[in-house]
Structure 1
Amino acid sequence: MTSTLVEKGPHFLPGESESGLDSCSYRTNPSPGGAVTNRPVRPATQEARTVDLDPVVMEALRAALPEVAEKAVAAIVEEVPSYARAFSGSLGDTIRQAVQIALGGFLTLATRQDAGSPPPPAIDGAYQLGRGEARTGRSMEALLAAYRIGARVAWRDMSRSAVDAGSGAAELSRFAELVFAYIDELSAASVAGHSDELESSGRAHQRNLERLARALVTGAAPAAVALAAERAEWEPPSALTAVLLPESQVSHVLSVVDARTLHVTDDLAGVAEGTSVLLVPTTGSDTARQSLLRALRGTRAVVGPAKPWLDVGRSHQRALRARDLGLDGVVDADAHLAALLLDLDPLTRGELREQVLAPLASLRPSTRDKLAETLRSWVLNQGRREAVAEELFVHPQTVRYRVGQLREAYGDRLEDPKFVLEATLALA
């Protein structure tokens, strides 16, 4: 005796009848007129195909199901950081059960025990997961990534069990196609649920989140921001970090950071077209910041400092200034505080530079430039001649000669702490 699984081209339909003419659909919210509609997922018009699975193989797959589900969950938590928080709470057990139901639903279909029946709980569960993602304000990227990872891990372990139970290569290849087609079916159900939720209440929720994000960045009154957070049903973290990055990289980043991350979608002063602003929840600790910077690897993000959530506007302003430094890759504003301070008032700094270099104004340009370069290195290296020579790639005797010229021009001012501070700021 063998079990038979029916496939429809690249996809099989959990709710199809033996004739292959039925379609899988989901019951959606009432339309504005009150009628309940069905959302089709796949047309059931493709040619049927069968694959025979020995009952011994099926029994081996069912026995391995709990362990496979646990490994799939572990891989999802590791590779999709935005789900780590969800799996650690009370919701974790529910999600683990959903993974087992999804895998169990596939094996149930493989035995054709539900032929001609409505879609199994796995499909309904996937639909509800999609709706849940929409209710939290998240896009589908993280959930679809979880499906891909789960499919990879599940197939790796299920195929091993099938081979150990005696499954042949040809049968295993066909079975692989059906596993991934089933994951496609779950993904389609989640996308449908996500879309339906957005059409009903998700859009209003998203608008509230966007209003909250703008209020935070623009420095609205704390009372107004708190009210906006309440309307958006958003739980404030202890701190937020502003991140500037290209719009093309937003989807990826949202899939790897905290699900409460806010996305400013409106135009903001100082933010160039094609650049987005994210407000990422954090604890404010150095460990949390390093974790965020690692998550942003491979992007062109500019990361402001972590600030109390009501004060994230300061983080946004710091990120804007760090962007203007013109650095490449992930830019950590906290690592460039000196450069940001010196760049805070360029006009005043230019005037200070002219004042500091005034005693050299009468010299020839080439001589003036060499002495200005030596003065800069002298104050930054605290008068250590060998360090100055190494930095300027000249002989220590040349440094001695140039410092002698500087002493003629500046006199005792070279030893004055006030002048040394001014020269450091002007020439750094």
Structure 2
Amino acid sequence: MAEVMEQVPAYDVPFQGRMGQIIEKAVQVSLESFVSLASQSAPDGAPVGVGVSAARDLGQAEARNGRPVDALLAAYRVGSRAAWRELSVEAIAVGVDAATLGRFAELVFTYIDELSAASVAGHNRETSSTERERIVHLDRLARGLLTGVGEVELEAAAAAARWTPPRTLTAVMVPRHRLVRTVGVLDPRTLSLAEDLPGSVDTHSTLLVPDSGGRARQRLLALLDGHDAAVGPARPWTRAHESYERAVRGIGLRDGVVDTDALLPELVLQADPAALADLRAAALAPFDEVTDGAADRLADTLRAWLLLQGRRELVAETLHVHPQTVRYRMNQVRDLYGERLNDPDEVLAILLALGRTP
């Protein structure tokens, strides 16, 4: 144990507490098991008994404590050299012949190999079991975040998943077949959910990216460049469902990366398509009195007139027409609408109706 502590950095502090007791017991049991094995004329391949069981338990204990299996294997190598150095000195001192000493050496290192393999198996079993359990908890956490469960429940889920909550989360919707590729360019703490949620888009998967608000948002958008994605707003992590709902509504608004923060007016207008259709029918009803072609020209002119605050030269430049044409068209519009253009509420309704073409 002293040799291991000196040569293996992962064990360079004195063994103490429960873990120290486990390691010391494993060393003692392994040596006793070896002595028992070596004292009998066992055939090749005889079981090494309790030593293997102790080594497997040690591998599991090391995994639970977060130590890599490489450190344990290094400790076995150092320990076996130290043990053989002392054993060989004693064997030579009592006159053991060379052939017997050779077989003894083979037994020592075969035994160490079996202990190493048992520890690796124990470490892998514990690691895979722990990781599977953590994946289940992360999936449960992601579902809770996206469906908007309570804060207390979310904090418990985060603790069970051993996931440290960030300040904010940003929902990113990506086509399902691009999920793995997109996850690879994002923060390792990113949560993902490939399966459907009630009301979700079945062609897309959801990612929750930590701390990507403010100036960090531009870095996120740059990372996503070249990936089809709809990006919701950054929200406090317990309100990630708000970002998810916005990102879902952003799917398909543009090609490539859809930044919903840059498309708020369009998102507002499409939030209730039926209401928008009714608003458009009522607000644009006066255009029913002219032909379709004339209605389109007059609607474009009215929209530009309202947006540019009646500056005729700018309206003409925007529409690529002569200012006199703008004057003529607006006279027609006033004839159709009458006093409605003097009512702020009517003007707002008209502008909203003209704000997005069907």
TM range (shorter): 0.5 to 0.7
Distance in 1 separating the partners of 2:162 and 2:325: 68
Counterpart of 1:313 in structure 2 is 241
**What's the counterpart of residue 215 of structure 1?**
144
- Using the TM superposition, give the Cα deviation of residue 272 of structure 1 relative to its aligned residue in structure 2, in angstroms: 3.2
Q: What does the per-residue CA deviation read over 1:118-157, in whole Å, with 9 as the maximum and x for residues that have no partner? A: 9xxxxxxxxxxxxxxxxxxxxxxxxxxxxxxxxxxxxxxx
Asked if the contact 1:238–1:283 (Cα under 8 Å) also holds between the matched residues in 2, the reply is: no
Large movers: runs of 4+ above 6 Å: 192-195
* C-alpha deviation, 1:195, in angstroms: 7.1
C-alpha distance in structure 1 between counterparts of 2:307 and 2:239, whole Å: 35
Task: Please report how far the alpha carbon of residue 370 of structure 1 lies from its aligned counterpart in structure 2 after TM superposition.
Answer: 2.0
Match of 2:176 in 1: 247
Listed one character per residue, the Cα deviations across residues 69-121 of structure 1 (whole Å, up to 9, x for unaligned) are xxxxxxxxxxxxxxxxxxxxxxxxx99xx9xx9xxxxxxxxxxxxxxxx9xxx
Query: Which amino acid counterpart does residue 308 of structure 1 have in structure 2?
Result: P
SS for the counterpart of 2:185 is coil
**Counterpart residue number, 1:359:** 286
Measure how far apart 1:198 and its partner are: 5.3
Q: 1:385 aligns with which of 292, 312, 320?
A: 312
Q: What is the aligned counterpart of 1:396 among 312, 316, 323?
A: 323
Once the two structures are TM-superposed, the CA of residue 304 in structure 1 deviates from its matched residue by 0.5
Question: Is 1:272 paired with 2:206?
Answer: no
Asked whether the equivalents of residues 270 and 320 of structure 1 are also in contact (C-alpha less than 8 Å), the reply is no
Counterpart-to-counterpart distance in 1, 2:321 and 2:247:
39
Equivalent position amino acid for 2:320 in 1: F
Q: Cα distance, 1:194 vs. partner?
A: 11
The structure that is strand-richer by fraction is 1
Indicate how the Cα distance of structure 1 residues 206 and 194 shifts in structure 2: closer, same or farther if over 3 A, else same: farther
Deviations, residues 330-357 of structure 1 (Å, cap 9, x unaligned): 1111010011011111211211112222
Specify the SS of the correspondent of 1:361: helix
Give the fraction of aligned pairs with identical amino acids, expressed as a percent.
47
User: Within 5 A, what are the aligned runs for 1:41-80?
Assistant: none
Give the Å deviation of 1:257: 2.2
Native 8 Å contact 2:316 2:322 kept in 1: yes
The yes-or-no answer on 1:199 pairing with 2:102 is no
Give the counterpart letter for 1:276 in structure 2.
S
Task: Provide the residue aligned with 2:297 in structure 1.
Answer: 370
Alignment coverage as a number of residue pairs: 248
| 1:299 matches 2:234 | no
Aligned 1:113-152 pairs, distance under 5 A: none
Give the match for residue 189 of structure 2. Answer: 260
CA pair 358-272 structure 1, distance change in 2 beyond 3 A: closer
Letter in 2 for 1:358: A
Contact 1:210 1:265 in 2 (8 A): no
CA distance in 1, matches of 2:203, 2:293: 44
Tell me what 1:323 maps to.
251
Select between 295-304 and 247-256 the one with higher mean Cα deviation: 247-256
Residue in 2 aligned with 1:290?
218
Larger Rg: 2
Structure 2 vs 1, CA of residues 392 and 35 (structure 1 numbering), >3 Å: closer, same or farther? Answer: same
TM-score, scaled relative to structure 2: 0.62
Q: Residues 243 and 316 of structure 1 are in contact (CA less than 8 Å); yes or no, is this contact kept in structure 2?
A: yes
Structure 1 residue 407 and structure 2 residue 334: aligned?
yes
Alignment correspondent of 1:140: none
The answer on whether the counterparts of 2:284 and 2:353 sit within 8 Å (CA) in structure 1 is no
Residue 273 (structure 1) shift: 3.3
Alignment correspondent of 1:183 = none
| Separation of aligned partners in 2, 1:357 and 1:283 | 41
Q: Which runs of 5+ in 1 are unaligned?
A: 1-32, 37-93, 102-117, 119-188
The secondary structure found in structure 2 opposite 1:220 is: coil
SS in 1 for 2:207: strand
* 1:308-363 CA distance string (max 9 Å, x none): 000000000000011142x1111111010011011111211211112222223222
Q: Let me know the Cα RMSD of the aligned residues.
A: 3.2
Q: What corresponds to 1:347 in structure 2?
A: 274
- Scaled by the length of structure 1, the TM-score of the pair is 0.53
Partner of 2:23: none
User: 1:274 and 1:406, CA in 2 relative to 1: closer, same or farther beyond 3 A?
Assistant: closer
